[in-house]
Amino acid sequence: MRFIRLIFVVLLALVLVAVALANREMVTLSAFPANFGQYLGGTWSIALPLFLVIFVAFALGMLAGLVWEWLREAHIRREARYRGAEVARLQGEVGHLRDRHAAPQDEVLAILDAPTAPSATTVVPPSRAQLPAVR
């Protein structure tokens, strides 16, 4: 996949260089039509190479599309944040309920359910391995 991406980038660079070399002539870019800028004062036009106008227009179009999609998907991101907070709240509530309901409610049952270690006074019956072998 990395190789395919590299090939794509190289081909794109070659196309951009070819477009730049083919469109080197200077063009005048005006901000207002038909000498309307003279009423506002100053010169509202600039001379640029054509390839630069093409690349800047392409970059501005990409930027406008990015901002448009970001604004269009804002409600999706807001809903995802809300759902994430709801999931975290519910997971905390489930954890709390597990902790609360896992322990026995009755003290007697708690004593009976608690594992105890054998004490010194408790008689432990010998296991079968400790008995002498029968002849």
- The per-residue pLDDT for range 54-94, each reduced to its tens digit, is 999 999 999 999 999 999 999 999 999 999 999 999 999 99
Name residue 99's amino acid: D
What is residue 48's three-state secondary structure?
A: strand
* Dist. CA 78–CA 34, nearest whole Å: 46
Per DSSP, what are the bridge partners of residue 48? 27
Higher pLDDT, 80 or 134: 80
Return all residues near 51 (Cβ < 8 A) that are at least 6 apart.
Answer: 19, 20, 21, 22, 23, 24
Domain contains 26: yes
Tokens at 36, concatenated: 């309307």
| pLDDT exceeds 60 at position 28 | yes
The continuous run of DSSP H or E covering 83 comes out as helix 74-102
- Is 9 domain-assigned? no
pLDDT given at position 103: 62
Report the range of poorest mean pLDDT among 18-22, 39-43, 56-60, 96-100: 39-43
Please state whether the predicted TM-score (pTM) of the whole model is above 0.75. Answer: no
Residue 11: half-sphere exposure toward Cβ, Cα within 13 Å: 6
32 vs 42: CA distance, rounded Å? 12
- As a dihedral over the C-alpha atoms of residue 41, residue 43, residue 45, residue 46, rounded to 10 degrees, the angle is -150
The answer on 90 and 65 residing in a single domain is: no
**Percent of the chain at pLDDT exceeding 90:** 48
Quick one: pLDDT band at residue 32, thresholds 50, 70, 90?
confident
110 vs 104: CA distance, rounded Å? 6
Domain around 97: 76-105
Question: Number of structural domains, the chain?
Answer: 2
Same-domain status, 56 and 20: yes
Same domain, 36 and 83: no
